[in-house]
Structure 1
């Protein structure tokens, strides 16, 4: 088992398989996109599979496939299949924007994927276009329907933004009345690919107060171990509600997560600006045992929380890097 210097067991790897995305969400990147990672700097399927294998041999039993948008990567479904077959892996999940996902749902079910995080910031078509700069709302809803039909657990991720989608909070809560979905409201983070600061009026406390005004009977429920969300239920509702304090970072104390970016950089914290490039180590001929030593050393330097990580290593320019570059 991988353990950091604070005694936290690290068993959860978030693997970003591509930086590219087919949306241009305002909180993630500029309208004209980003300077994408060059093809030779991206990890190959074989490199990703090898890194995942090394981690599972070290006790990582949960992997989440992220991006960018995972299905923008060529033949990503085959890579997902190979990862699903790794010994020691008990939980494989996926984060997607839903635009290209629907045709692959039967295969995802076959591979044993039980949970999918679906990015959806509004239930209004016009606001969807304004936020994502793409007219693809119907495709996302088709993916939602398909996932539920195949009995795959759905967590809807909604970034809460002042003057953008506040009017969607209550309709999204109401979505949990009859559907077996968890809707998680996420504090906006500064990783927008530009130089725009956020005021964060809509932090965890404000989001909760707003929901409670409409649903005063809302109840706190048990948070799963290592959960990043504070979880709630409206009595009688089928699904649940979560609030993720992504910017105020109040969940760091029992963090069990690490990230691998599309170019192979191991980041032990979302707010960390540096990291070891495992892809480069592989291309220099490192053995699996040598990779394990590098990983162990990196984990031992995992910061106490996101505030410490930002203070120690995140430069002013890196604060505004895109989440697609970091790995969602």
Structure 2
């Protein structure tokens, strides 16, 4: 098992396969996009599979594939097929914006991938365009329909932003009346590649909760799974559930069981921290499995207690784009 110095079992890897995305959400990256990594700077699929295999042997049980947008990387389905064959890996899940996803759902299901996080910040087409700078909401909603038709476990993720989409909170909650989905509201974070346009935290998890309670006074707290990032709630008569993720106030950090691996091979033991190790560079310099295992064990052992501590240690004064870290 992988255990950090705070006694937490680390069994969850968030693996970003690309920094590229076909949206330009203002809270994630500049309008013109990022300075994209070259192919040489990215980990190859073989390198990703090698390090994933080692981490599974060391105790990782769940891998979430993120980006950027995972499905913009060529041959991603072949990689997922190889990843799904790793002995000991219990679950693969995906985070996607849904634009390219719908046609791939049957094959994802065949691979045993049945848990999908779908990013949907608004159900209004004009606000969707204003937030993402792309007119793609119909394709995203088609993906939602397809996922549900194939009995996928769907979580809808919505970042709550002052002056952008707070009017969408209640319409998104209303989806849970007839759909078996978890709609999760996420506090806004400053990961847009420089801090520009970050509105500050006008909407923390308390304000989001009170807004929902005003409309749904029968909102009931549900038990939260171990290591959960969301506070979960149910509404009587609704098929789905509601979650609120305190991503900026970071009240869930004490039970963190996650590490992140960026497309260029940088290991992050916290979203708010810097890279603590680059496994791509180690692999390309000839490190074998024992040396890689020792380096990873040491990095995880030094994992900070919470996001505030990690941010203090990183001390960069500027946050990268979420697309380069792994959304």
Quote how far apart the aligned CAs of 1:39 are.
Answer: 1.3
Please list every run of at least 4 consecutive aligned residues from structure 1 whose deviation after the TM superposition is greater than 3 angstroms. Answer: none
TM-score by length of 1: 0.98
* CA shift for structure 1 position 301: 0.7
How far did 1:193 drift?
1.4
> What is the CA distance between 1:194 and its match in structure 2?
3.0
Write the distance in 2 (CA, Å) between the matches of 1:45 and 1:35. Answer: 21
Aligned to 1:38: 38
How far apart are 1:274 and its partner, in Å? 2.7
Q: What are the superposed Cα offsets for residues 103-135 of structure 1, whole Å, 9 maximum, x if unpaired?
A: 110110001012100000000111111110001
Q: Is the 8 A contact 1:271 1:314 kept in 2?
A: no
Asked if structure 1 preserves the Cα contact closer than 8 Å seen for 2:20 and 2:67, the reply is: yes
The aligned runs of 1:33-182 (5 Å cut-off) are 33-182=33-182
Tell me what 1:10 maps to: 10
Query: Distance in 1 between the 2:116 and 2:81 partners?
Result: 15
Contact 1:49–1:82 (CA under 8 A) maintained in structure 2: yes
Residues of 2 paired with 1:291 and 1:70: CA distance?
Answer: 25
How far did 1:316 drift?
1.0
Assess if the C-alpha contact under 8 Å between 1:232 and 1:242 holds in 2: yes
**Distance across 2 between alignment mates of 1:201 and 1:195:** 16
Pair 1:193-2:200 in alignment? no
Distance (Å, rounded) in 2 between the aligned partners of 1:171 and 1:121: 11
- Please tell me whether the aligned partners of residues 230 and 244 of structure 1 are also in contact (alpha carbons under 8 angstroms): yes
Tell me the distance in 2 between the aligned counterparts of 1:311 and 1:61: 29
Conserved in 2, the CA contact under 8 Å of 1:189 and 1:198? no
Corresponding residue for 1:217?
218
Q: Structure 2 CA distance, aligned partners of 1:66 and 1:91?
A: 14
Number of aligned residue pairs: 326
User: What SS class does the counterpart of residue 48 from structure 1 fall into?
Assistant: helix
The normalised TM-score by structure 2 is: 0.99
Q: Is the 8 A contact 1:212 1:218 kept in 2?
A: yes
**For residue 327 of structure 1, what is the aligned residue in structure 2?**
326
Question: Are the equivalent residues in 1 in contact too, given 2:162–2:199 (CA < 8 A)?
Answer: no
**Deviations 1:170-219 (CA, angstroms, capped at 9, x unpaired):** 00000000100000000000001133243211000000011001101100
Match of 1:315 in 2: 316
> Which residue in 2 is equivalent to 1:256?
257
3-state SS of 1:141 partner: helix
2: CA distance, partners of 1:314 / 1:281: 25
Contact 2:157–2:185 at 8 Å: present in 1 too? yes
Cα distance in 2 for partners of 1:275, 1:261 equals: 11
Q: Take 2:120 and 2:137, find their aligned partners in 1: how far apart are those partners?
A: 9
> Hey, what's the Cα distance between the residues in 2 that align with 1:314 and 1:100?
37
CA shift for structure 1 position 314: 3.5
Structure 1: stretches of 5+ with no match in the other structure: none
C-alpha RMSD of the superposition: 0.7
- Does 94-103 or 188-197 show the bigger shift? 188-197
Matching of residue 288 in structure 1 with residue 314 in structure 2: no
